[in-house]
Amino acid sequence: MNLQNARALVTGGSEGIGLGIARALKARGSQVAIMGRNEDKLNRAAKELGVVALQGDVSREGDVKRVVASFIEAFGGIDILVNNAGYGYFAPLTELDRAEFEKLFATNVTGAMLMAREVAPHFIAQGGGHLINISSTSGLSGGKNSTAYSGSKFALRGMNECWRAELRPHNVRVTLVNPSEVLTPFFSKVGHEQILSEKKLRASEIADAIVGALEIDDRGFIPEFSVFATNPF
């Protein structure tokens, strides 16, 4: 895909990996909009990057419909959807709170499905597009206290396989990305301290890998890839 003037919507685009992806796409000449729940943070990020801000919560069906419709109206179509919105909740099985568990799945799983469902008809109608789903290495191997988060990423991986099978006949490429630990606000939001290190991944490494996957000729695509720090310790 030629990213010059490609029309891209990035969910969870106001910080972290989503912000890094939006920045990288903008630098390649793409027309970019970012979606997020916090309007103030979203507007600041959009102003910094020179992109469009579309406030909304991916777990709310009405917000998803409104944001996608606004994007299509503003840009005349869509070439790239980056399903990045998501967060973590970690607790032992014996202490899992059902409300928190279901809230996480509403964003990480249902939200991704709603975004993909609303954008897919536009991809099909125009005969192509690229859907990028941001998962995690936690979606490849579970660990203690990660029932909710890993479970949601395993679910996303399963949905990604289904969407790929359905959309390939329409020249739509579907890619799953599994970042390892990235230096973002992710851990602080869930009350975990992140050990800082210049050896750990930054959002820019994930963004660069995604740009590379997008830019290969449309006759081929990368179904799934993981990004690890070479030696983070």
Residue 152: C-alpha distances to residues 45, 109, 149 (Å): 27, 6, 5
DSSP secondary structure letter of residue 107: I
| Catalytic choice (71, 75, 149, 163) | 149
Q: What is the signed CA dihedral for 209, 213, 215, 218, rounded to 10 degrees?
A: 180
Residue 149 catalytic?
yes
3-state secondary structure of 193: coil
CA distance 113 to 119: 10
3-state secondary structure of 188: helix
3-state secondary structure of 118: helix
Residue 10: C-alpha distances to residues 17, 34, 71 (Å): 10, 5, 11
Closest by Cα among 212, 141, 134, 206 to 174: 134
CA distance 51 to 48: 8
Give, for 173, the enclosing helix (H) or strand (E): strand 172-179
User: What residues are annotated to the active site?
Assistant: 149
